[in-house]
């Protein structure tokens, strides 16, 4: 009788232990019901990226434009982009230390904008970074990369602290007050990111469909963006860009990855970011859930 009672107690304890383990996994592990993020596959804007050159260096502006034309014509730009948009192998880029006694090309960037600029350890990767490396080689200069907040990128070049801004920069008049824009090299657009359980935008086929729903948002709704980016202009409204603004609250972050993580955590309702980074960010964060 005692053996039967002991067996029953042990069975009950094992069942409780298994239940507890399952609960822990559901709360902190990779459970099937874990919320992720998804991109609404509709372009909301039509933008062009360019590099920003120190206005006090008109010769450098001419050299960069000549280089952009060269890598477009010989296919180098396409080859670099293919590394990040298909199954190619990205090339690591190293930065030298700043030394004013040397002939250096000092590039300002915000290395939290994959696939254009990001880091792995002390090495830089991305479309812009590989272009920067080839540009420095073309100019017979040593490459120095200065990683900083996005808001400071154009400012640093405008103050002649850096030579060129290379940070997935959309051309606009406000930034043109600080830098001399080169010829454009990439076409971009803004995309909306929502949580995986949000089905409101699933039937949207074009920008007008998404815009209609966005304009129905309320002040209590929140959209996260990287500070200083086109997404912020889009949400807050900007006459130069032709953006009327949205009724939702704009929440700014140091980078878009933080915004997407906050979306998944339920602290904001949406995120707006450029299309290519949106894909990289959501894939990376979803894999960690």
Segment 91-123, tens digit of pLDDT? 999 999 999 999 999 999 999 999 999 999 999
List the domain boundaries for the chain.
37-45+189-288, 47-188
The predicted model scores a pTM of 0.84
Q: State pLDDT tens for residues 244-274.
A: 999 999 999 999 999 999 999 999 999 999 9
Q: Give the DSSP letter string of the chain.
A: -HHHHHHHHHHHHHHHHHHHHHHHHHHHS--TT---EEEE------EEEEEEE-TT-HHHHHHHHHHHHHHHHTSHHHHHHHHHHSS--PPPB--PPP-TTS-EEEEEE-SEETTTEEEETTEEESHHHHHHHHHHHHTT-EEEEEE--HHHHHHHHHTTSSSEEEEEEEP-HHHHTTSEE----EEE-EEEEEETT--TTTT--SHHHHHHHHTT--TT-EEEEETTSHHHHHHH-BTTTTB---SSEEEEESSHHHHHHHHHTTS-SEEEEEHHHHHHHHHHHHHH-
* Mean pLDDT of the residues in the chain: 90
pLDDT at 137 over 70: yes
What whole-number percentage of the chain has pLDDT above 70? 89
Examine the pLDDT at 157 and tell me if it is beyond 90: yes
**If you classify domain 37-45+189-288 with CATH, what class do you get?**
alpha beta
- Binned at pLDDT 50, 70 and 90, residue 87 comes out as confident
Query: With 90 as the cut, is the pLDDT of residue 71 above it?
Result: yes
| Confidence at residue 28, expressed as pLDDT on a 0 to 100 scale | 35
pLDDT for 121-135, tens place per residue? 999 999 999 999 999
CATH number of 47-188: 3.40.190.10
Identical fold between 37-45+189-288 and 47-188:
yes
Rg of the chain (C-alpha set) = 24
């Amino acid at each position: 009788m005692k053996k039967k009672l002991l067996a029953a107690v042990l069975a009950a304890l094992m069942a409780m232990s298994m239940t507890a383990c399952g609960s822990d996994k559901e709360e902190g592990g990779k459970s099937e019901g874990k919320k992720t993020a998804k991109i609404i596959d509709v372009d909301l804007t039509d933008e062009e990226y360019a590099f920003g050159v120190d206005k006090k260096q008109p010769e450098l502006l001419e050299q960069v434009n000549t280089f952009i034309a060269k890598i477009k014509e010989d296919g180098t730009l396409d080859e670099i982009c293919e590394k990040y948009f298909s199954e190619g192998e990205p090339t690591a880029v190293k930065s030298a230390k700043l030394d004013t006694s040397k002939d250096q090309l000092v590039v300002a960037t915000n290395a939290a904008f994959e696939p254009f600029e990001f880091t792995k350890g002390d090495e830089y990767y991305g479309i812009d970074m590989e272009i920067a490396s080839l540009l420095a080689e073309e100019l017979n200069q040593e490459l120095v990369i200065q990683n900083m907040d996005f808001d400071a990128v154009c400012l640093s070049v405008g103050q002649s602290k850096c030579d060129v801004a290379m940070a997935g920069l959309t051309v606009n008049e406000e930034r043109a007050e600080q830098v001399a824009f080169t010829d454009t090299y990439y076409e971009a657009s803004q995309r909306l990111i929502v949580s995986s359980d949000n089905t409101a935008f699933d039937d949207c086929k074009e920008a007008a469909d998404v815009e209609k729903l966005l304009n129905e948002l309320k002040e209590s709704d929140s959209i996260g963006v990287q500070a200083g980016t086109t997404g912020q202009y889009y949400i807050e409204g900007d006459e130069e860009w032709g953006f009327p603004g949205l009724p939702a609250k704009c929440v700014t972050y140091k980078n878009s990855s933080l915004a997407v993580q906050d979306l998944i955590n339920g602290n904001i309702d949406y995120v707006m970011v450029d299309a290519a980074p949106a894909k990289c960010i959501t894939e990376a964060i979803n894999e960690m859930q």
